[in-house]
Chain A
Amino acid sequence: KNQVEQSPQSLIILEGKNCTLQCNYTVSPFSNLRWYKQDTGRGPVSLTIMTFSENTKSNGRYTATLDADTKQSSLHITASQLSDSASYICVVRKAYGGSQGNLIFGKGTKLSVKP
């Protein structure tokens, strides 16, 4: 069964600290993996996309990693800021077919950054 599991469900950290969010998937065949950030009351915004051949990709203080062999991805946030408080959603696309129906969504990790 195609699934995307994220951990932890929620996380509280102090401003300035680093954190790592996990995403494990069983989607096959694999096309790509995206991390989205969703602020409260707003729609998700794409942070990064990882394809099969990419191991690491950075977007400012956000660094995503992908291990296609173990089917795991992580999102590392460096020097967290209050504005990082949001839900982070991992989304995996099945290969073959361009429909958005081929996307498998994780349930997200809710991150709270406290001053």
Chain B
Amino acid sequence: KAGVTQTPRYLIKTRGQQVTLSCSPISGHRSVSWYQQTPGQGLQFLFEYFSETQRNKGNFPGRFSGRQFSNSRSEMNVSTLELGDSALYLCASSLASGGRNWDEQYFGPGTRLTVT
């Protein structure tokens, strides 16, 4: 079974630009979550999508948005990039229903975003 894939793996953008990151979950997984990881803050929850609906949102500004498509693939968008947005953005998918490990998340390799 293929794992979670994220594209692109690396990205360099200029302050003020916008960026779209993509995530393809494991086949059959309906929940996709996004995280920002920085050395100082660790993993921080951005939002979760389940069956095309945003189920929960972390404490990030409205510049961060996302969506999920009917095939469970998800995208996140960051508008008006700031230097502080430089981070590793991780996507994770989970079954989110049934079974003992219903909530176990499988992470993708991440997209390394650098804002200059």
CB distance from A51 to the nearest CB of B (A): 9
CB of B7 within 8 Å of the partner chain: no
CB of B19 within 8 Å of the partner chain: no
In angstroms, Cα B58 to Cα A41, docked, is 24
Main secondary structure of the interface of A (DSSP, over half): mixed
* Cβ B56 vs Cβ A101 within 8 A: yes
In angstroms, Cα B9 to Cα A60, docked, is 31
* Cβ B48 vs Cβ A99 within 8 A: yes
Chain B residue contacts of A32, Cβ below 8 A: 103
CB of A2 within 8 Å of the partner chain: no
* Cβ A100 vs Cβ B45 within 8 A: yes
CB of A62 within 8 Å of the partner chain: no
Given A43-B4, A43-B107, residue A103 in contact with residue B42 (CB < 8 A): no
Q: How many residues of A contact B (CB 8 A)?
A: 21
Chain B residue contacts of A100, Cβ below 8 A: 31, 33, 45, 48, 55-56, 92, 94, 103, 105
Q: Mark B35-70, 1 if CB is under 8 A from A, else 0.
A: 000000111110110100001111000000000000
Given A41-B109, A46-B104, residue A108 in contact with residue B42 (CB < 8 A): yes
